[in-house]
Amino acid sequence: MKKQRTCVFKCASCGHEEPKWLGRCPECGEWNTLIETAVNSRSSPAGLTSPGSRGKGEAPQSLPLSSVDPQEGSRIGSGIAELDRVLGGGVMKRSAILVGGEPGIGKSTLLLQAAAAAETKGRILYVSGEESAGQVRMRADRLGIMGAAASRIEICCSGNLDDIEAIVNAVRPVILMVDSAQTLRTSEAGLIPGTANQMKFCSYELISWVKEHDAALFLVAHVTKDGLISGPKSLEHMVDTVLYFEGPVSAASDGDCRFLRAAKNRFGSVDEIGIFTMGEQGLSGVENPSLLFLVRREGELPPGVATAAVLEGTRTLLVEIQALTVPAKGAISRVFSDRIDSARVSRVAATLEKHLSLRLSGHDLYVNVAGGIRIAEVGVDLALAAAIYSARTGLPVPAGTALTGELSLAGEIRPVRRIAGRVKTARNLGFERFLAPPGEGVAPGMAVKDIKGAMKLLFT
Ligand code: TYD
Ligand code: MG
């Protein structure tokens, strides 16, 4: 029989384990960090306690897919419609959801509001490693969380995994919220707190706990502005759903909109976005966001402005695209656009230059979207082209016009999904003209096949 090992050598820096003492840790490369440690039942190589772990002596088994319980009805409504929409219809039990975003964007606010509104009779444990219980209470008061909603939320202010595990086992929450992953630590994953390894180890333990106990986990992770986020990124593959919370570039100019997007979702699509506004009483969902990204004007539009009808998940949004061209200060003309991918802007500009002989070289091009929403849908191309053309020529796009269509490098306007729905939403919002590739609902005189025809129709 194999001899049971009683001690291992564990790296104080990264938690790596070796059966023999070594001068240098093969995992992280640190010198003299291996320390003799008694074997703990939990510290199998990565602290693994997988969801379906077997008892001793049982043989591994497979089973026919048809005999597996589909776990229907195992979603919990978060009580926040926009959050449920992004999650694909509520919080899936036994799942882990990572909520990433810049500090101050509203992650803690969102979770606390969800804790109060969640459609469950079970308990909700909010673990805060960043704020004191008093601070969380103050926020809850500000959000108007009181009565029964407040009393079923348990709060624990610690980042120590052992403490958290003890409390989790005592409270048995249905939803566990951890704010944030970066504050989690345990001596089992090395002595240095705040390392990526600590965060991964602790997160894994908590993810395993919810999977075994039919609960759900929300894990907050801070992402810094220019961060190629080594930390939270490394958690993405461990969780089931990754949500990113983002806001406008400058709060002053674009209001208080917040957008929740799924970067990964095992239980739903990643197309849907949640739209919120941040106000005095926290976040409120915007159910009908079509008007949020339009600027209401009387009479003629200024040059450089065009309205796109874009699809975000199942909703059509009308968004104002703004463009500005100025003579380039340097030898090279540049594109400044952070709400629409600059590569897309450059491509549309190049297509205009080529097919309409619009002189854009020698000019810097600035592009913005009203309301600060990021647009990646292909249907934005035609409106983007119209805004750039209008900015450069000084000719305004006629008021009451909405546009949709994808632009190919050959200058063709390509069809996009669900044109009829876009036409309908635009009409309901008072847009009389809808320029689009031929499709259902597009008036024959407004159907355009190439960029040349489209610009001619708009500007002459
Ligand atoms: P917070 O949830 O603390 O952000 P995060 O957890 O992502 O760091 O949000 C903080 C910001 O939200 C802060 O700038 C204040 C603002 N806020 C409001 O405007 N209204 C409110 O009701 C609350 C609670 C916060
Ligand atoms: Mg916070």
According to the model, what pLDDT value does residue 5 have? Answer: 62
Between the CA of residue 445 and those of 5, 63, 431, 437, 449, what are the distances in Å? Answer: 81, 60, 15, 11, 11
Where helices occur in 251-324 by DSSP H, the ranges are 251-254
According to the model, what pLDDT value does residue 46 have? Answer: 42
According to the model, what pLDDT value does residue 285 have? Answer: 94
What residue type is assigned to position 142 of the chain?
A: R
Between the CA of residue 231 and those of 14, 27, 247, 411, what are the distances in Å? Answer: 14, 17, 21, 43
Contacts of 200 (CB under 8 A, 6+ apart): 189, 234, 235, 238
* Contact criterion met (CB below 8 Å) for 124 and 152: yes
Measure 248 CA to ligand 1 centroid, in angstroms.
Answer: 14
Token output for 32: 């003299």
According to the model, what pLDDT value does residue 225 have? Answer: 64
Residues in contact with ligand 1 by the CB-under-6-Å rule are 101, 103-109, 139, 142-143, 278, 280-282
Give, using CA atoms, the residue closest to atom 21 of ligand 1. 282
Nearest CA among 125, 205, 129 for reference residue 162: 205
* Contact criterion met (CB below 8 Å) for 318 and 293: yes
Measure 110 CA to ligand 1 centroid, in angstroms.
Answer: 9
Place of tokens 């020529």: 393
Relative to the CA of 103, which ligand 1 atom is closest? 8
Relative to the CA of 110, which ligand 1 atom is closest? 2
What residue type is assigned to position 266 of the chain?
A: R
* Contact criterion met (CB below 8 Å) for 40 and 8: no
Relative to the CA of 111, which ligand 1 atom is closest? 2
Beta bridge partners of 308: 319, 403
What residue type is assigned to position 241 of the chain?
A: T
Q: How do strand 34-38 and strand 7-11 relate by DSSP bridges?
A: antiparallel
In whole angstroms, give the CA distance from residue 301 to residue 307: 11
Contacts of 57 (CB under 8 A, 6+ apart): none
Place of tokens 């194999």: 2
* Shortest-distance ligand to the CA of residue 129: 2
pLDDT digits (tens, 9 = 90+) for 354-396: 999 999 989 999 999 998 899 999 999 999 999 999 999 999 9
Q: How do strand 153-156 and strand 124-128 relate by DSSP bridges?
A: parallel
* Shortest-distance ligand to the CA of residue 128: 2
Measure 158 CA to ligand 2 centroid, in angstroms.
Answer: 14
Measure 288 CA to ligand 1 centroid, in angstroms.
Answer: 23
In whole angstroms, give the CA distance from residue 19 to residue 30: 17
Where helices occur in 216-280 by DSSP H, the ranges are 230-233, 251-254
Between the CA of residue 228 and those of 101, 222, 231, 265, 386, what are the distances in Å? Answer: 12, 12, 9, 21, 34
Relative to the CA of 143, which ligand 1 atom is closest? 22
Relative to the CA of 112, which ligand 1 atom is closest? 2
Give, using CA atoms, the residue closest to atom 25 of ligand 1. 282
pLDDT digits (tens, 9 = 90+) for 266-279: 998 888 999 999 99
Measure 103 CA to ligand 2 centroid, in angstroms.
Answer: 7
According to the model, what pLDDT value does residue 2 have? Answer: 47
Instruction: State the CB neighbour count (10 A cutoff) for residue 200.
Output: 20
The pLDDT profile of the chain, 460 residues, written as one tens digit per residue, is 445 567 888 877 777 777 778 888 777 777 888 888 877 544 444 444 444 555 566 788 888 888 887 766 589 999 999 999 999 999 999 999 999 998 889 999 999 999 999 999 899 999 999 999 999 999 999 999 988 888 899 999 999 999 999 999 999 999 999 998 989 999 888 777 677 888 899 999 999 999 999 899 999 998 876 654 556 788 899 999 999 998 876 555 456 889 999 999 999 888 899 999 999 889 999 988 877 888 888 889 999 999 999 998 888 999 999 999 999 988 888 999 989 999 999 999 999 999 999 999 899 999 999 988 999 999 999 999 999 999 999 999 999 999 999 999 999 999 999 999 999 999 999 999 999 999 999 999 999 999 999 999 999 8
Among 83, 98, 109, which is best to mutate for testing ligand 1, by the most ligand atoms less than 8 A from CB?
109
